Amino acid sequence: MGHDGSRSRTRRDVLKASGVLAASGFLAGCSGSSDSGAATEAGATDAATDTATGTPTESETAEETATETESGESYSVSMPPVGEVTFESVPETWVANNGSWADMGVALGVEPPEGVWLPSRYHTRYYDEIPGVSVDKSGMTALYSDGVSKEVFYELDGDVHVADPNFLMNRFKGWERADVDEVSEQVAPFFGNSIFSTGYTWHEDYPYLSLYEAFEKLSQVFQEQERYEAFASLHEEFQSNVSSVVPSSKSERPAVAVVWAAGDEPESFSPYLVGEGTSFKQWRDLQVRDALAETDVKDFHETRGKIDYETLLEIDPDVLLCRGHESQTAEEFQNTVVSFMKDHQTASSLTAVQNGDVYRGGPLYQGPITNFVVTQRAAEQVYGVEEQLYDPQRVADIVAGEF
């Protein structure tokens, strides 16, 4: 399609970015990258402070947002690296970078995003655990397809792009600042932070956000702060329950190895060290021992290297956690990957294989709802937990607006 400005003067008449392109830290480290957008990702740092970007405190932002909205005026929300973004109305349609943000949207009771980076990695099956909550992603557009075209953003015509613009410019060759400027001006602003991965050098100039810090920011964008507060309260209770099942002695906690296992008959693996960030939140909260961290094996993000069964056998973790299989049920995973390992000459000697402790390793992306589900599952896997650590019905009630 042509970009001749005939598009009702874009959405700037009802929604605009205030100082976004010149805001502190925006486009920091925009040097381009040869990485493929379909490559696997690591975790993100689960801590950040807004002082580095001059962002108001959350309470100040919430108060200002509520006041301005009641009077029918615009409201602003700040997030590194995009700075302050001003909205003149609450976004109705949106685009999300990945399943972390999409899940936050579900939690906030808004319509699912029109598009995400790779719909195949937005695992909506998790919602089966929550009564009455489901997402149909059959019509969801993939932003990435051997690159990302600006045309996709024009076609989706969202009210806000919940994505870190630095991610677009550094995960593959193709996007430059001028492209981000154009889409921000002609379609809608960007509002996002790559919270799932600490492995990117271009993210060193601005802070990461934890899952709930990012969730709170998005709740302000969609003016759903009450839902956020309800989730934050439930999460605090959940964290207490999770802590109660963790053995006090570190020696009683299993040594786990997290790997990316491509295909149903994997012969090599991308190693992941349990790091800070949303991608590994459940394993940090469960305080498992990282078997790979106790060796000289380097994280995939650092070397793009792989390990084989011989290396795994030398490490011999108590539990083997295979990423890349979240689209499968537990039974399907056992009947394919685990069955293959049991028949494999070397893999069959692994303690985890012999003891039946090979599991799906969790998603790359998780939001508040997903985190409840995968942490519950992880606690069952590594500690044999039988009790429910969170209330699925309470989650459903909050999504439905019953606080």
Look up the CATH number of the domain holding residue 69: 3.40.50
Q: Are residues 292 and 347 both part of a single domain? A: yes
**CA-CA distances (angstroms) from residue 299 to 199, 304, 320?**
9, 8, 16
**Average pLDDT, stretch 81-95?**
97
Q: What is the pLDDT of residues 140-168, one digit of tens each?
A: 999 998 889 999 999 999 999 999 999 99
In a domain, 107, yes or no: no
- CB of 137 closer than 8 Å to CB of 125: no
Q: What is the DSSP string of 72-121?
A: T--EEEEETTTEEEEESS--SSEEESSHHHHHHHHHTTPPPPSEES-GGG
Q: Are residues 158 and 84 both part of a single domain? A: yes
Q: Domains in the chain: how many in total?
A: 2
**Average pLDDT, stretch 115-136?**
97
Q: Are residues 205 and 252 both part of a single domain? A: no
SS3 399: helix
Residue 53: pLDDT band (50, 70, 90) is very low
Question: Which residues are registered as beta bridge partners of 256?
Answer: 290, 319
Q: Are residues 74 and 213 both part of a single domain? A: yes
Q: What is the pLDDT of residue 90?
A: 98
pLDDT-wise least confident of 179-183, 301-305, 380-384: 301-305
pLDDT-wise least confident of 118-122, 124-128, 169-173, 343-347: 169-173
Q: Are residues 258 and 205 both part of a single domain? A: no
**CA-CA distances (angstroms) from residue 33 to 26, 173, 182, 346?**
17, 6, 20, 37
Q: Are residues 66 and 164 both part of a single domain? A: yes
Q: What is the pLDDT of residue 28?
A: 37
Q: Are residues 191 and 68 both part of a single domain? A: yes
Question: Which residues are registered as beta bridge partners of 319?
Answer: 256
Angle at 103 between CA 336 and CA 185, to 5 degrees: 125
Element (H, E) at 323: strand 319-323
Which amino acid, 159?
D
Q: What is the DSSP string of 347-389?
A: GGGSHHHHTT-EEE---S---HHHHHHHHHHHHHHHH---S-S
In a domain, 25, yes or no: no
Q: Residue 45 contacts by C-beta under 8 Å, 6 or more apart in sequence? A: 198, 207, 208, 275, 276, 277
For residue 171, the enclosing domain spans: 50-97+143-223
Q: Are residues 170 and 313 both part of a single domain? A: no
Q: What is the pLDDT of residues 340-391, one digit of tens each?
A: 999 999 999 999 999 999 999 999 999 999 999 999 999 999 999 999 999 9
Reading the block at residue 106, the tokens are: 């579900």
Q: Are residues 63 and 206 both part of a single domain? A: yes
Q: How many residues does the structure list for the chain?
A: 403
Residue appearing with tokens 């000459």 = 345
Residue 242 predicted with pLDDT over 90: yes
Cα separation of 334 and 337, whole Å? 6
Q: Are residues 268 and 374 both part of a single domain? A: yes
Q: Are residues 160 and 254 both part of a single domain? A: no
Q: Are residues 286 and 371 both part of a single domain? A: yes
Q: What is the pTM of this model?
A: 0.84
